Amino acid sequence: MAKRTTGIVDRIWDSDIFHSFIHSPTALISSCILVIILLTSFFCEFVAPHDPFTPSSLSLMDAFTPPFWVEDGNTVFLFGTDGQGRDLFSAILYGTRISLIVGFSAILFSVIFGVLLGLTAGYFGGRYETIIMRLADVQLTIPSILMALLIDGVVRGLISRELHDEVAIFVLIFAIGISEWPQFARVARGATLVEKNKDYISAARIIGLPNGIIMFKHILPNILRPILVIGTIGLALAILAESTLSFLGVGVPPTTPSLGTLIRLGNDFLFSGEWWISFFPSFFLVILAFSINLLGDWMRDTLNPKIN
């Protein structure tokens, strides 16, 4: 029997997962990077040296300032400025926040939607399961970018242009979320089929517990591990999808730019020598997605019951 441990802190400290975490340089470094990115972008009002979205603070005189180590650059604008004289470093911090919010919300939406459908499909089986899982198959044949473009197009047609800028972020979350749900439904269904046949579920049924309690109190906590793993990797994908859509111009409006919007803005100047405008947002995006993926890989290795 394992040593008795009391508080939740002790239990985490003593757990094998935590042990594996502090002994994995990949996990440590990637989560350090992620924590720094999360903190700086969520508190960007305090961290950012400039406020890039107040037009009165901008000066066209500063436009196209290169990064500070390049000739003509200065340390006021670390990574230089864009065509309107906005500080790129500050814009990236603000943009990362938008990207993260959209990514998190989209993945949360698809996890909830997918797990709900997958869990019920696996639990009830029969005709319901067949229909849900075939729907998931159909959904998977539509590329997520196409799906998002389609939803964005429909919404644009339905509401006015001013209103659209306000709801654009929600449309984006919905569009990305809806195209990611099938993989969560599949994993949740598979795990549910395994758990459903275990004796503790039979015991719960013999006690007479209603299906809802069996599904959400007994099965759900036991299938969360694989969901967490693909959710983490899905988060990186969702952030990339957001950037892609914003780059294509159907994402968040340029007034509140995300990383993808910044890359698009810089793209126009790429060949006229102002490389930094799209380089730094791209670099940030790569670092962000890469760290999340590394953390996801570590989780998959550690939480996989087959390996341990």
User: Which residues are near another protein by CB under 8 A?
Assistant: 1-4, 16, 19, 126-127, 130, 198-200, 202-209, 218, 221-222
Q: Hey, what amino acid is at 179?
A: S
Q: Which residues contact 126 (CB under 8 A, 6 or more apart)?
A: none
Shortest gap between Cβ of 194 and another protein (angstroms)?
10
Which residue number, 57 or 202, has a Cβ lying nearer to another protein? 202
Which residue number, 161 or 306, has a Cβ lying nearer to another protein? 306
DSSP 183-248: HHHHHHHHHHHHHHTSHHHHHHHHHT--HHHIIIIIIHHHHHHHHHHHHHHHHHHHHHHHHHHHHH
- Residue of 68, 38, 93 lying closest to 262 (CA atoms): 93
Which residue number, 19 or 166, has a Cβ lying nearer to another protein? 19
Which residue number, 129 or 152, has a Cβ lying nearer to another protein? 129
The H or E element that residue 117 is part of is helix 88-124
Shortest gap between Cβ of 122 and another protein (angstroms)?
14
Q: Hey, what amino acid is at 200?
A: Y
Shortest gap between Cβ of 117 and another protein (angstroms)?
17
Which residue number, 60 or 213, has a Cβ lying nearer to another protein? 213
Q: At CB < 8 A and 24+ separation, what contacts does 245-254 make?
A: 245/145, 245/148, 245/149, 245/152, 245/172, 245/175, 245/176, 246/172, 248/145, 248/149, 250/148, 250/149, 250/152, 251/168, 251/172, 252/98, 252/102, 252/168, 252/169, 252/172, 253/165, 253/168
Residue 132 burial (CB count, 10 A): 19
Which residue number, 51 or 301, has a Cβ lying nearer to another protein? 301
Shortest gap between Cβ of 74 and another protein (angstroms)?
53
259 burial level (CB within 10 Å; 0-12, 13-18, 19+):
buried
Which residue number, 19 or 57, has a Cβ lying nearer to another protein? 19
Which residue number, 202 or 211, has a Cβ lying nearer to another protein? 202
Max alpha carbon distance in the chain (Å)?
77
